[in-house]
Amino acid sequence: MGFLADFKKFALRGNVVDLAVGVIIGASFGTITKSMVDDMLMPPLGLLIGRVDFKEQFLALDRDAYERLSGELNAARAAAEGENRTRAAAGQPPVPLPPAVAPTLEQAREKGIPTLRYGVFVNACLNFVFIAFAVFLLVTGMTKLQKREAPPPPGPTPTERLLTEIRDALQSRPASR
């Protein structure tokens, strides 16, 4: 048998095809559960906790750089507030204020500040729990669907075989008077 024939025999075995189908379905299932956690479960949970977006939860590891970034944002906001006071006195419309005073994860990443993104980790842990639970339900369901065949009864023990031989030998002897 040549290399290609061996490979064809291997690739077309039922186990390999079943494994490939399982991996493909598993990847799709992982995408679905990730979306369920990120898009369906975490927003209401964040709302219940106090309008928290877990993806934005992080801890800046370089506090000095984080404080500098925070100072820059506060200075920009203070400058915009001062300009708005001047514009209001002149009867002009205000300029939009910069969004938040506390730096966001994206702003910290843009400045190269190392962060510990524990919110993303919480999401990943919840994804794992839901995937594990779904696999558990799938396996238990499949186990219940499979017909349980009773194992064949065990054969006679050596003692039983010996007793059977003795009985057969006694039965085959002519009866004595």
Instruction: Count Cβ neighbours within 10 Å for each residue of 137-149 and write b for 16 or more, e otherwise.
Output: eeeeeeeeeeeee
Q: Could you report the per-residue pLDDT of 73-116, keeping only the tens digit for each?
A: 888 778 878 888 888 888 888 877 766 577 888 888 998 999 99
Contact between 78 and 120 (Cβ < 8 Å): no
CA distances from 163 to 14, 147, 157, 175 (A): 46, 37, 10, 19
Q: Could you report the per-residue pLDDT of 36-76, keeping only the tens digit for each?
A: 878 888 788 878 877 777 778 888 999 999 888 888 888 87
User: Is this structure's pTM higher than 0.85?
Assistant: no
**What would the two tokens of residue 120 be?**
């993303």
Domain ranges of the chain: 12-56+121-146, 58-116
